[in-house]
Amino acid sequence: MIIILIGPPGVGKGTQAKMLSGRIQVPQVSTGDILREAVKEKSPLGLEAKDYMDRGKLVPDEIIMKFLEERLKKPDCAKGCILDGFPRNISQVHALEKLLGRRHKDTIRMLAFEVSEVELLKRLSGRRVCKKCGSMYHIIFDPPVNDGLCNKCGGELYQRDDDKEDVIRARMEVYRKDTEPIIDYYEKSGVLRRINAEGTVDQVFGRVEEALR
């Protein structure tokens, strides 16, 4: 089964994807994480992607599809995966369908996370990520025990370049224009469930489980 998590930046897709992955034993595939890893490694495609990411723009489809194709070929994705941050526009929807062929086409589910814009800005501007293990914190809602350090591995916490306010606004604009139309597309095919993403992480996860039941 392919479960697509869609929603504006900062809605909590990544957190929910990790929890769901643990529950149903299917890997989380986050194109954002894959890109950040490539940037860290300074690979040629990673460096090309960085420029778009820093401006809150979508990385070109050709680059994304190269990374995604490679990832989906790995054996842990044989039974499916949780797609987090992909597809981001209609042409990626078509590219995904082509890539999956008949194999998974009938088993796609989409969960669309919804939250108000004010809440999103609050969540994103306070978000901090561990440099070492990728764990996420929030300076007000979920602060680490020791300031600036990860509870799990002691790694240094940082603010993603694209979590600064002007870039957040650009990312929201891209979401509205390019990504939201995907929701209508899947709504028409009857595989969409809308999730209220306000409330605690556990409350939202309860809704996710309910929607997939």
Instruction: Out of 50, 88, 128, 207, name the contact with ligand AMP by CB under 6 A.
Output: 88
Catalytic residue among 160, 164, 193, 194: 160
Q: What is the rounded end-to-end Cα distance, in angstroms, of the chain? A: 13
160 is catalytic: yes
Residues within window 20-39 making contact with ligand AMP, judged by CB under 6 A: 31-32, 35
Cβ-closest position to ligand AMP:
32
Instruction: Out of 5, 50, 93, 162, name the contact with ligand AMP by CB under 6 A.
Output: 162
- DSSP H helices, the chain, are 13-24, 31-40, 44-54, 61-72, 90-100, 117-125, 165-174, 180-188, 201-212
The reply to whether 72 sits near ligand AMP by the rule CB under 6 A is no
Contacts 24+ apart (CB under 8 A), 157-161: 157/128, 157/129, 157/130, 157/131, 158/128, 158/129, 158/131, 159/127, 159/128, 159/129, 160/127, 160/129, 161/53, 161/54
The reply to whether 207 sits near ligand AMP by the rule CB under 6 A is no
Task: Specify the residue, 123 or 147, whose C-beta has the smaller distance to ligand AMP.
Answer: 123
Instruction: Out of 17, 39, 53, 95, name the contact with ligand AMP by CB under 6 A.
Output: 53
**Please, what is the angle between helix 180-188 and helix 90-100, to 10°?**
50
13 is catalytic: yes
What is the per-residue DSSP string for 146-184? STTB-TTT-PBEE--GGGSHHHHHHHHHHIIIIIHHHHH
The reply to whether 130 sits near ligand AMP by the rule CB under 6 A is no
Residue 119's identity, in one-letter code, is E
Task: Specify the residue, 58 or 204, whose C-beta has the smaller distance to ligand AMP.
Answer: 58
Task: Specify the residue, 86 or 186, whose C-beta has the smaller distance to ligand AMP.
Answer: 86
Residue 67 and residue 73 in contact, taking contact as beta carbons nearer than 8 Å: no
Task: Specify the residue, 154 or 180, whose C-beta has the smaller distance to ligand AMP.
Answer: 180
The reply to whether 80 sits near ligand AMP by the rule CB under 6 A is no
Task: Specify the residue, 13 or 206, whose C-beta has the smaller distance to ligand AMP.
Answer: 13
Identify which range of 16-24, 49-57, 138-146, 190-198 contacts ligand AMP by CB under 6 A. Answer: 49-57
Residue 27 and residue 82 in contact, taking contact as beta carbons nearer than 8 Å: yes
**Residues at the contact surface with ligand AMP, assessed by CB under 6 A:** 9, 31-32, 35, 52-53, 56-59, 64, 85-86, 88, 92, 162, 171
Q: Enumerate the active-site residues.
A: 13, 88, 127, 160, 171
